[in-house]
């Protein structure tokens, strides 16, 4: 379900085959990402290939975001499709999450983050 890799001491999590981030997988994803944040202080969630996120998927991401903030970690998103970004904007979450258009841009943004 999730592929985890380390790039320049930054953990990058991405989906392997899923196109929908929904109630079927949201709890497992949340638990997995929160577990990653127990051992790492920089996490990028690459949403490349995801065409739909439901309320439980957004809830999982918000939970991970809150867990990251509580533990002084950085949690960033990248590669959000136009369809999903419209939902993000509709829910005003673009004002909450640190979002970047590409993985490379997201990785480079850590140079400006404590």
Task: Tell me what percent of the chain is helix, strand and coil, each rounded to the nearest 5.
Answer: 45, 25, 30
> Which two structure tokens, joined as six digits, stand for 62?
């918000």
Q: Where are the alpha helices (DSSP H) in 40-94?
A: 55-70, 82-90
> For the whole model, what pTM was predicted?
0.96
Structural domain count of the chain: 1
Q: What pLDDT sits at residue 112?
A: 73
CATH for 89: 3.30.750.24
pLDDT at 110 over 90: yes
- Looking from the CA of 42 toward its CB, the CA atoms found within 13 Å total 17
End-to-end CA distance of the chain: 30
Q: How many angstroms separate the CA atoms of 83 and 108, rounded?
A: 25
Give the domain range for residue 86: 2-112
Residue-wise pLDDT tens digits, 58-92: 999 999 999 999 999 999 999 999 999 999 999 99
pLDDT at 109 over 80: yes
> Which two structure tokens, joined as six digits, stand for 113?
């983050």
All residues at 6 or more sequence positions from 41 whose CB lies less than 8 Å from its CB, including other chains: 71, 72, 73, 74
């Amino acid at each position: 379900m999730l592929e985890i890799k380390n790039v320049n001491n930054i953990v990058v999590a991405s989906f392997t085959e899923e196109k929908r981030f929904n109630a079927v997988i949201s709890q497992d994803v949340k638990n997995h990402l929160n577990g990653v944040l127990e051992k790492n202080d920089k996490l990028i969630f690459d949403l490349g290939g995801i065409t739909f996120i439901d309320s439980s998927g957004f809830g999982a991401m918000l939970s991970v975001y809150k867990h990251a903030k509580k533990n002084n970690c950085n949690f960033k998103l990248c590669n959000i499709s136009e369809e999903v970004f419209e939902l993000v904007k509709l829910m005003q979450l673009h004002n909450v999450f640190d979002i970047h258009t590409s993985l490379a841009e997201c990785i480079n943004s850590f140079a400006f983050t404590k």
